[in-house]
Amino acid sequence: MPDDPYARPRYPLLIVLSGPSGVGKDSVIREMKSRGLPLHFVVTATTRPPREEEVEGRDYLFISKEHFAEMIDQGELLEYAVVYSDYKGIPKSQVRQALASGHDVIMRVDVQGAATVRRLCPQALLIFLTTRNEEELEARLNARRTESPEELKLRIATARQEMQRLGEFDYVVVNPDHRLNEAVASILAILEAEHSRVDQRQVRL
Amino acid sequence: MPDDPYARPRYPLLIVLSGPSGVGKDSVIREMKSRGLPLHFVVTATTRPPREEEVEGRDYLFISKEHFAEMIDQGELLEYAVVYSDYKGIPKSQVRQALASGHDVIMRVDVQGAATVRRLCPQALLIFLTTRNEEELEARLNARRTESPEELKLRIATARQEMQRLGEFDYVVVNPDHRLNEAVASILAILEAEHSRVDQRQVRL
């Protein structure tokens, strides 16, 4: 009975945290993880070898290219992308398990990937993370110093393009410099509000 | 440019707090007022005479029946009702002024009134306040002791009917006994989330 206020089910959410590179998706996820929230954080599968400090199942699921190809063939990936000749993707099975246990599921996906998730799962909750302005974004990309000037220019141009896709998302959250807590508070408010909606999202995968 | 994440306008919300009598609408409004939030609380116009402790403009706008009739004729009331041969209503002018100043506007309206507001203003944000269960509701109505047993029965039956109208609302918020703060926190989360929506509500009156 959806219209009985005393017996409302609580459907778990599938939350996609996205936005151009440099907006701080990883920092926000890390901060949320550190708070022990009742959320399931999706672990991405990758075909690249683990780095020294990385732990299987915590940082990534490290799988072979053969295994990855099989998952693509069988439609077992919610979304995947090629990153420098290696593959990264989100196994549906993991998301299904987490949802079945009743937990909200959150994952970090790039802007193109978010559109793919929306197509496969229209009831997913899409959050677009952004900086306050373009200067802040450029400064953050600059601060990484892990890229050549050409790569940096490419990242900035890509980010500018991706900012135009805001209309495909449900919510926009600003992640201002040095105020990570504000972004996290906004995301948590969005989750609480979504669970209070009379017309709740019901995710099917 | 709705799709520029760096230049988003912030449209004020028109929030209707509703629900059957006994769910605690007045307590929630009082608690919110006491916190000095940047919200405009609508003052209802009434034709009944002020009680001793009541202050014009704070508790009600006290106006004559002639004046009230004029406002009805000119469509200047967002919503009105007859309460024991006296009239109560919400002047549109007050809401318009508050919205123009950029503040979110909140008002306490009964369930029938909420439907009227929705009709006049489809972009209004409708929140249905409820108790955890029917026992809690009955206990609260009982505790008032201001009504005859017959009136009490009528209230309970009406509340039961009104609970069926949940589907006409956007959000449902539980106001549990002795935990007013939880209800207020949920409402504030809803407001924050609504302001983060890519597709914001734009109220026109």
**Domains located in chain A, CATH noted:** 14-196 (3.40.50.300)
Q: Determine how many CB atoms are found less than 10 A away from the CB of residue A40.
A: 21
Closest to A172 in 3D by CA, of A112, A102, A125, A140? A125
CB contact under 8 A, B189 and A192: yes
CB contact under 8 A, B189 and A194: no
Q: Residue A1: pLDDT above 50?
A: no
pLDDT, one tens digit per residue, over B166-176 is: 999 999 999 99
Q: What is the rounded distance in angstroms from the CA atom of residue B45 to the CA atom of residue B80?
A: 9
Distance from CA of B114 to the nearest CA of A (A): 15
Helix (H) or strand (E) holding A109: none
Whether the Cβ atoms of residue B6 and residue A134 lie closer than 8 Å to each other: yes
pLDDT, one tens digit per residue, over B113-168 is: 999 999 999 999 999 999 999 999 999 988 877 778 888 888 889 999 999 999 99
The structure tokens listed for B151 are 């009136």
What backbone torsions phi and psi does residue A90 show, to the nearest 5 degrees? Answer: -115, 110
Mean pLDDT value across chain A:
92
Instruction: Identify all chain A residues contacting B192, using CB atoms and an 8 Å cutoff.
Output: 185-186, 189-190, 193
Give the three-class secondary structure for B154.
helix
ipTM over 0.95? The verdict is no
Share of chain B above pLDDT 90, in %: 80
Q: What is the rounded distance in angstroms from the CA atom of residue A157 to the CA atom of residue A177?
A: 21
Whole-model pTM: value is 0.93
| B73: CB partners within 8 A, 6+ apart | none
Burial code (b: 16+ CB inside 10 Å, e: under 16) for B162-171 equals bbebbeebbb
| pLDDT at position B149 | 86
| Average pLDDT of the residues in B26-53 | 94
CB contact under 8 A, A132 and B3: no
CB contact under 8 A, B172 and A128: no
Mean pLDDT value across chain B:
93
Q: What is the rounded distance in angstroms from the CA atom of residue B73 to the CA atom of residue B67?
A: 10
pLDDT, one tens digit per residue, over A115-131 is: 999 999 999 999 999 99
| Average pLDDT of the residues in A90-112 | 94
Distance from CA of A193 to the nearest CA of B (A): 5
Give the three-class secondary structure for B4.
coil
Which neighbouring-strand residues pair with B40?
B105
Distance from CA of A179 to the nearest CA of B (A): 17
CB contact under 8 A, B196 and A189: yes
Name the pLDDT band for B3 (thresholds 50, 70, 90).
low
| pLDDT at position B169 | 97
Whether the Cβ atoms of residue B18 and residue B175 lie closer than 8 Å to each other: no
Q: Residue A90: pLDDT above 50?
A: yes
Interface test with B, best of A125, A166, A181, A184 (most B CBs within 10 A): A166
Closest to B158 in 3D by CA, of B20, B18, B16, B19? B20
The structure tokens listed for B170 are 């956007």
The structure tokens listed for B132 are 């955890």
